[in-house]
Structure 1
């Protein structure tokens, strides 16, 4: 049962949607449909001109509804797997700008958070903010030693405002789940859950400070990216103090030219920063729009606002690297198989059909020059195609796609002839060699060696016991079904492959141990090295015998 206050807010949403010619949303959600009919008969409706595109109308409606709805629209813009492309692109333009609250109120919040008069913590504190958003605003101050800092302060009472509007979003989400034809697939309640988690994280400025500290550590000493220092002794849940960043806004291309910045190098550095964050660190700045990026006079990127960060696991990195490389080799079969290996699409997905769908989407892209190909759009097309095969898009991959899209836009605004593949291909190929080839195997062996050392002496006995039990029939299953009986021979072949694989793996582990320990020198080699090599070669042969074969 809706509360009177919620009914009033829903009526306001209906009025604003109708005002912006978004009647289809009101109808689809069953929002006060009689009220909508009354609104449609108002005289000002007869005087309206040709309506703007629906994405523009929806963006303007969300801006009129207020800051929480603006932020919700921004979150939705990162979910192209849920929205039509025209709406997602337009919502990405939403600006989180609201009038500032009084500077004296900001000073009071800082004093309460730091439990001291502001004059004890800062030599000066500018009451006029330099930036103001829906959740917080930023003031400039100086420490006692003269260091200039930026002080981010949460808006007073913002938590109650957010909770009120989020509860209203849940009401709308439940209506969407109930009445929209695609409601169950779009999972609107889960989308609001994601938004609630995101905005709650933004309400704890210590999280943003921790993000900045991690990114700063990742790029310590780098000429590519500078991340400001966090002053932890002055940072609390509702106050964050960090080093002030000076530089030229990256959107001011003319000022960059006048400063003598090499725009071509700057554009390529942006791409390198992105791939370094994603593939080296698995931790990336996910809000790299022009307002958050500055450039020093020597061409170094300087980032601010670390409220939204993304992270990638090893499987995510493998998925992206395999797909990018396969795409640019136009090997669509490899793209389809990479999806299956990663588990992003159901295991019973017809590979041939999936491959054909990917080819139909991607071949037109390759009709253009390589330098005009957009990585971000490529990922977007991939997500939209995979959605037809019940792929559940992972939030971290969607954040990455949005970030890549921003980086591409920045890069090509700086240098229109930017060829992302020149920077990206060597990076991806080097990463693949290190993480998908023999180097990766030996790196894992070195990492796991201390664990294996403990149970290695027991391994020959375990292998012997398993093989003996299989020989004596103790591992056989009791076959009841006639259909399963028909597969018995195939399962036996699989069991034999397992024996070869176990034995081969054991020999490779033993070889790695022997190589590590070494042995008696024989000229330029050691006896241990020769013996280890022999074991490794035998292990590789056993693994080859245990490989899956067609029709097995």
Structure 2
């Protein structure tokens, strides 16, 4: 982190008066004093609320901080609502870098000139974001239209320098402020670093895209573009160019007579299919990454791009999450509390009655509304917030899930305000749970495992004998170790006695002398 970069960050913080976000604590008086010393910095956004000023400051700081603000905006479990709402407006309004430089980076990565693989390459970028920018091209051998995604030059040192500063600030909050641990500042920075580093490896994004495409091949609800994996490198990704309407352009969708109700419902279906059927879900489903194929307006299909961030749950978390949602549908709060304890999300010593009452206080007011108006993502968020009071440590994969559900529900209700998320989700969850954990399924799994049991059973007596023999050996060794320890203690006591006698004798001799 250079002095000039640090000065720029402090100057922007001063201009937007972000010292208001610092807690009133004597340990942060020095940062406050440093910011006040920059008295020559002219204030900006004078009449804006703190959330809006924070958003503008992050945008001015550049790509790394914009991404950070986008990620933090999803942590509504720890942010005040007005700040989270402001940060969700952050956009990747990043100036593109020179197309000639992009061309050189691509040629260097592929080891050939652009003309070797492409009959046309547009140096003017199609899109530019925090980490990479996109150019259009045409493949030479097939004349297929493609996009080439290329990482920004020298982006890694910039990211590493800014993240080091973020860690330093986060640790100061955590270590020097009494309630600093509740802010989970280091955890937020760590989550961000992991997310960002994933986006810096375009070969991983290529793999994720290929797998997600395979999961939805010939699907009516979601289309994932084809990846030319032989042309993908760590800093270059080549994939099919898609044609569709951005999901955020609701007016254009309506003008094309798109079935908005079906489109909204299919968004929910696509998410739950990824989450429960495949356990491999696109975890960055913001509007910029979603388009709509309107070839058949009454049978619309989603198009998903930018598969850098993928969520995967453990099998146990999958099951507990489904049980959690179904228990909420049935207003079974004792079941919800038990799920949080048996899943390990909260300590097993947690008072189940106290947790049940806390869950009830969160969920019951929601049922005062019509079911279609209840926010799925807000309920999950509030349940996690309650669980935090019982020492829940939310794992990164659950945070990704929470963020994705927030996006999906928000998009669905923008498309079709009357969307009943529960009506769409509940039958899916019930069918998945029944198929996965029904008696028939368990018997089928048992039957499939019979060959393994047939191999193991003849060896079982021998294994039991070996286990008994090993247990006896370990018991004998433990007894021997115990005896040696006791003997060692006796020797130690005798040694101390002897040393005492020697010291006493020495004193007597010295006195007599």
Give the TM-score of the pair, scaled to structure 1: 0.79
Equivalent position of 1:334 in the other structure = 335
Deviations 1:456-491 (A, max 9, x none): 34558989999xxxxxxx9xxxxxxxxxxxxxxxxx
Q: Distance in 2 between matches of 1:126 and 1:456?
A: 66
**1:268 counterpart = 2:265:** yes
Q: Which moved more, 1:8-17 or 1:391-400?
A: 8-17
Equivalent position of 2:151 in the other structure = 154
Match of 2:57 among 58, 61, 74: 61
Q: Distance in 1 between matches of 2:46 and 2:292?
A: 43
Question: 1:178: Cα distance to partner?
Answer: 2.2
Cα pair distance change 1:457/1:172, threshold 3 Å: same
Equivalent position of 1:182 in the other structure = 179
Other structure's SS at 1:364 match: helix
Other structure's SS at 1:385 match: helix
Q: Distance in 2 between matches of 1:344 and 1:464?
A: 39
Cα pair distance change 1:26/1:334, threshold 3 Å: closer
Q: Distance in 1 between matches of 2:71 and 2:178?
A: 22
Contact persistence 1:294–1:303 (CA under 8 A): yes
Equivalent position of 1:244 in the other structure = 241
**1:291 counterpart = 2:281:** no
Cα pair distance change 1:370/1:156, threshold 3 Å: same
Cα pair distance change 1:98/1:385, threshold 3 Å: same
Contact persistence 2:16–2:45 (CA under 8 A): no
Equivalent position of 1:224 in the other structure = 221
Q: Which moved more, 1:236-245 or 1:456-465?
A: 456-465
Q: Distance in 2 between matches of 1:447 and 1:346?
A: 35
In structure 2, stretches of 5+ residues that fail to align are 468-474, 476-513
**1:92 counterpart = 2:88:** yes
Match of 2:277 among 257, 277, 280: 280
Question: 1:448: Cα distance to partner?
Answer: 2.9
Cα pair distance change 1:456/1:172, threshold 3 Å: same
Q: Distance in 2 between matches of 1:340 and 1:237?
A: 42
Deviations 1:236-262 (A, max 9, x none): 111110000101111222222232321
Question: 1:65: Cα distance to partner?
Answer: 1.5
Other structure's SS at 2:150 match: strand
Superposed, 1:334-483 pairs within 5 Å as 334-457=335-458
Q: Distance in 1 between matches of 2:368 and 2:323?
A: 22
Q: Distance in 1 between matches of 2:386 and 2:134?
A: 42
Cα pair distance change 1:223/1:36, threshold 3 Å: same
Q: Which moved more, 1:267-276 or 1:251-260?
A: 251-260
Contact persistence 2:191–2:396 (CA under 8 A): no
Q: Which moved more, 1:259-268 or 1:174-183?
A: 174-183
Q: Which moved more, 1:20-29 or 1:123-132?
A: 20-29
Question: 1:44: Cα distance to partner?
Answer: 5.6
**1:104 counterpart = 2:114:** no
In structure 1, stretches of 5+ residues that fail to align are 467-473, 475-552
Superposed, 1:74-89 pairs within 5 Å as 74-89=70-85
Match of 2:168 among 167, 171, 181: 171
Question: 1:199: Cα distance to partner?
Answer: 1.5
**1:128 counterpart = 2:128:** no
Deviations 1:91-147 (A, max 9, x none): 232212210001111111111111111111100001111110111000000011210
**1:309 counterpart = 2:310:** yes
Equivalent position of 1:71 in the other structure = 67
Other structure's SS at 1:123 match: strand
Equivalent position of 2:489 in the other structure = none
Q: Which moved more, 1:143-152 or 1:430-439?
A: 430-439
Q: Distance in 1 between matches of 2:255 and 2:242?
A: 20
Q: Distance in 1 between matches of 2:389 and 2:439?
A: 35
Deviations 1:205-240 (A, max 9, x none): 101111100100111111111100110121111111
Other structure's SS at 1:363 match: helix
Question: 1:62: Cα distance to partner?
Answer: 1.3
Question: 1:49: Cα distance to partner?
Answer: 5.2
Q: Distance in 1 between matches of 2:227 and 2:55?
A: 35
Q: Distance in 2 between matches of 1:256 and 1:24?
A: 42
**1:19 counterpart = 2:15:** yes
Equivalent position of 1:202 in the other structure = 199
Cα pair distance change 1:196/1:351, threshold 3 Å: same
Q: Distance in 2 between matches of 1:32 and 1:186?
A: 18
Q: Which moved more, 1:198-207 or 1:370-379?
A: 198-207
Contact persistence 2:224–2:305 (CA under 8 A): yes
Q: Distance in 2 between matches of 1:127 and 1:313?
A: 43
Cα pair distance change 1:9/1:44, threshold 3 Å: closer
Question: 1:157: Cα distance to partner?
Answer: 1.1
Q: Distance in 2 between matches of 1:104 and 1:464?
A: 73
Contact persistence 1:271–1:424 (CA under 8 A): yes
Other structure's SS at 2:212 match: helix
Other structure's SS at 1:261 match: coil
Q: Distance in 2 between matches of 1:296 and 1:302?
A: 7
